[in-house]
Chains A and B, each alone.
Chain A
Amino acid sequence: MPPFDTLNQAWMVWDGPAPAPEEAVLEYTRELEKFLAEIERRAFRMAQVALRDPDDALDVVQDAMLKLARKYASRPSAEWRPLFYRILENGIRDLQRRRTVRKRFMTWLPGPKEDPESEAQDPLDNVADAAPAIPEALMQGQAMQQLEVSLRALPARQREAFMLRNFEGLDVAETASAMGCSEGSVKTHYSRAVHTLREQLGEVW
């Protein structure tokens, strides 16, 4: 056997390079960053569909990212997607509950009442766009708006099932894991959601 110049060379001959824990951490950190970069915009849009307000949607997505990174970063990467969406859906539900409580509380206080329709409107929506609108894009934008309105009108569980299955493309098992329910419930919620949406949007689409 040839003499070894360094201890590291001896390791390489004996059993390959010794695994460094820091390298493993760097590896899953890089993987986590890639995963978050891949889903962040979809997660934001899903949160925005549910909450309407983009700032609230950003807050919820940021919280979900932080919680996933702090608590579940060391878990296998295959588990990240359902875990992330479970955290996200919990955050959305919490925010909606807080809004409901705040609304009930506000009705007892004197002062101008909030108009739920005006809350959703952004003043910038009324500003005319200088660039000529592309008809196809405009139609698609309108169709998406109609879909969003119909989705908000659905019961929360049906909306979750539809968005996770259709928008995010999770399978039944992953959706069940993200929603914290059985696979049978996912199928039922999804089927009802599609049926209702088709009834509402079928003619327009």
Chain B
Amino acid sequence: MNEQPRDSFEARAQALFHDSVEGVDYATRARLTQARNAAIEAVSASRRRPWFFRIGVLTPAAGVTAAAILGVFLWLGSPLGQHAVTVADGQSNFEDLELVAAADEGSGDAMDMLQDDIEFYDWADKSANPGPAA
């Protein structure tokens, strides 16, 4: 590092540059100092952050995990999710089905009863109006 120039031309160029560096005005020097302090502060700030924020790979992974958890909660909270739970439960639907089936069975009994009534009405009619004796 800091090799010396090989000839007078290079030495003169280097000397001129260093003179111009010494001639940098105070306003610029002050701004450079501010920039340096900001850079040093950045190192300190990065040290103060929790370790999991300092690991660049984990930060996106944490974001994806948080989004996945939020997605699950939203899914369970949505009407579609609730419907899924109700269908999975299914108890009340089967009860309804049984009631309907029972109603159908009841209508079958009613037909039998109606058939019995017809026979009764026929007997009563015959009893009330006996026909000519054979």
Chain A residues with a Cβ under 8 A of chain B? 25, 29, 32-33, 36-37, 40-42, 44-45, 54, 58, 61-62, 65-66, 68-70, 73, 81, 140-141, 143-144, 147, 165-167, 169-171, 174, 194, 197-198, 201-202, 205
Q: Which 3 A-B pairs have the closest CB atoms?
A: A62-B35, A65-B39, A69-B39
B59 near A: Cβ within 8 Å? no
| Neighbouring A residues of B16 by C-beta, 8 Å | 140, 143-144, 147
Give the contacts of B13-34 with A (CB-CB under 8 A): 13-14, 16-17, 19-21, 24, 28-29, 31-33
Q: CB distance A68 to B39 under 8 Å?
A: yes
- Complex-state Cα separation, A65 to B40, whole angstroms: 9
Residues of B within 8 A of A36 (CB): 36, 39-40
| B44 interface residue (CB < 8 Å to A) | yes
B24–A205 touching, CB < 8 Å: no
Residues of B within 8 A of A (CB): 1-3, 5, 9-10, 12-14, 16-17, 19-21, 24, 28-29, 31-33, 35-36, 38-40, 42-44, 46-47
Do B42 and A41 have beta carbons less than 8 Å apart?
no
> Across the interface, which residues of B come within 8 angstroms of A201, CB to CB?
9
The interface centre, meaning the residue of A33, A37, A69 with most chain B CB atoms within 10 A of its CB, is: A69
For the A-B complex, the count of residue pairs with Cβ-Cβ distances under 8 Å equals 99
Known: A40-B36, A169-B3, A194-B10. A73 touches B43 (CB 8 A): yes
Q: Is the CB of B40 within 8 A of A69?
A: yes
29 A-B pairs within 8 Å (CB atoms) are namely A33-B36, A36-B36, A36-B39, A37-B33, A40-B35, A41-B24, A42-B21, A44-B24, A44-B32, A45-B17, A58-B28, A58-B35, A61-B35, A65-B36, A69-B42, A69-B43, A140-B19, A141-B20, A143-B16, A144-B16, A144-B17, A166-B13, A167-B13, A170-B1, A194-B9, A194-B10, A197-B13, A198-B9, A202-B9
Instruction: Determine the residue in chain A with the shortest Cβ distance to B46.
Output: A70
B1/A81 in contact, CB under 8 A: yes
Kindly list chain B residues whose C-beta atoms are within 8 Å of the C-beta of A41: 21, 24, 29, 32
A45 vs B2: C-alpha distance when bound (angstroms): 17
| Known contacts A58-B28, A58-B35, A81-B1, A166 near B40 by CB under 8 Å | no
Question: A167: which of B17, B32, B33 is its contact (CB, 8 Å)?
Answer: B17
When C-beta atoms are compared, the residue in chain A nearest to B25 turns out to be A54
Q: A108 → chain B, closest Cβ, in Å?
A: 35
Nearest chain B CB to A186 CB, angstrom units: 12
- Complex Cα distance, B2 from A81, in Å, reads 11
Q: Is the CB of B1 within 8 A of A171?
A: yes
Q: Which A residues are CB-close (under 8 A) to B3?
A: 165, 169-171
**Do A166 and B10 touch across chains, with their CB atoms under 8 A apart?**
yes
| Least distance between A26 CB and chain B CB atoms (Å) | 9
Q: Which residues of B contact A54 (CB under 8 A)?
A: 28
Contacts of A205 in B (CB 8 A): 9, 12
Complex CA gap A194/B12 in Å reads: 12
Task: Name the contact of A58 in the complex, choosing from B14, B32, B40 (C-beta under 8 A).
Answer: B32
